[in-house]
Amino acid sequence: MAEVHRIGFARSASLYVEELGRGHGASVLFGHSLLCDGRMFVDQVNDLAQDHHVLNVDFRGHGRSDAPRRAYSMYDQADDYLRVMDALKVDRASIVGLSMGGMAAMRLAMTHPDRVRSLVLLDTSASREKSAARARFTALATTARLFGPRPWLTRQAAAVMFGATFLREHPEIVAQWEASMQKLDKRAVAHAVQAVVTRDDVTRRLREITAPTLVVVGDEDVATPPVYARTLAAAIPNARLEVVPMTGHLSTVERPRVTGKLIRKFLERHRAG
C-alpha cells in the first residue's frame, strides 16, 4: 500500500505524492502529462515497487495536488521534482516523465545532473510549441479559465492525447479520462497549459544531459509526433529510442505492459549507475 505525502510548493499549497517500496532499491520518480495525474502510471508503478523505491507525483493543479494561485514555468515544475526528492531524502533518482513530465525532467537533468540517475522520456519534446499550436492552446487556456474544462473541451483534448487505435478500441477508458479532466480546477488548467505552451526551446542543450536516457514514443502520437522523439534520441548522448506501434500520446495508459517492460528493462540495465 502506498504511503501518501503532502509536499509544499507555495504557501498553503502542496503536491500530492505517493511513495511505494521504500527500502527496495534505487529510487524512481514519475511525472505525468498535462491534464492527467499520477494514475496514468499505475501499472508501471505497481510493478516497479516490487523491487524499487517509487515516488509518483501529481503536479500542481492536477489530480489530488493543490491548484497554484500564480503562473509558473516548466523550470518551476522541474524544481517540484527536487522538492519531492528533498522532502523524502532522496539524493538521486531515475526520472520517468511523460509529455509535460518529460519536459520538466529534461530541465532537471540539465540544471541538476547530480540528482538524476537515469532518464525515461515518453512522448515529449525539447522544442518550443509551434506557433499554430501555441495559439490554439492559448485559446484553450483562456476558455478553460473562463468556463472551466467543459465536456466539449475535454473531448478535443482526448482526440489529441489518445491514438486513433485506442480511441476506436477503448472508448470507455477514454471517457473515464475525459471525466477526470472535467474535474480539474479551471485556473489550474489555464496555468498548466500556459506553462507548457510558453516553454523555451532546449534542443541545443540536450547534449548537456549526462544521464543514461531512454526515449519512448507512440507511432500514433499527434501531440508530440515521433520526429520529436528522434530529435531527442539523436541529440542526447547515448540515448536509446523505442517506438511503440498503434499507440498515441498517453503511451503508459494505452500500452501499459509494453511501456512497463521497456522502462523496467532500461532501469535494470542502469541500476548500478
Total domain count, the chain: 1
Whether 105 is in a domain gets the answer: yes
Task: Print burial letters for 228-242: b (CB count within 10 Å at least 16), e (below 16).
Answer: bbebbbebbeebebb
Residue 216 included in any domain:
yes
Within-domain flag for 151:
no
CATH number of the domain at 25, please. Answer: 3.40.50.1820
Instruction: Judge whether 170 lies within some domain.
Output: no
* Residue 56 in domain: yes
Residues 6+ apart with CB under 8 A from 69: 10, 13, 187
Task: Please report which residue ranges of the chain form alpha helices under DSSP H.
Answer: 42-48, 74-87, 100-111, 131-147, 151-161, 164-169, 171-182, 186-197, 226-235, 251-254, 256-269
Rg of the chain (C-alpha set):
17
14: in domain: yes
Q: Which of 132, 91, 120, 79 is nearest to 211 (CA)?
A: 120
Query: Is 223 domain-assigned?
Result: yes
Cβ atoms of 249 and 123 closer than 8 Å: yes
- 167, 183 Cβ separation under 8 angstroms: no
pLDDT digit of tens for each residue in the chain (273 aa)?
Answer: 799 999 999 989 999 999 999 888 899 999 999 999 999 999 999 999 999 999 999 999 999 999 999 999 999 999 999 999 999 999 999 999 999 999 999 999 999 999 999 999 999 999 998 766 666 666 666 666 655 566 767 888 899 999 999 999 999 999 999 999 999 998 898 899 989 999 999 999 999 999 999 999 999 999 999 999 999 999 999 899 999 999 999 999 999 999 999 999 999 988 755
Domain extent, residue 50, equals 3-126+201-269
Residue 144 located in a structural domain: no
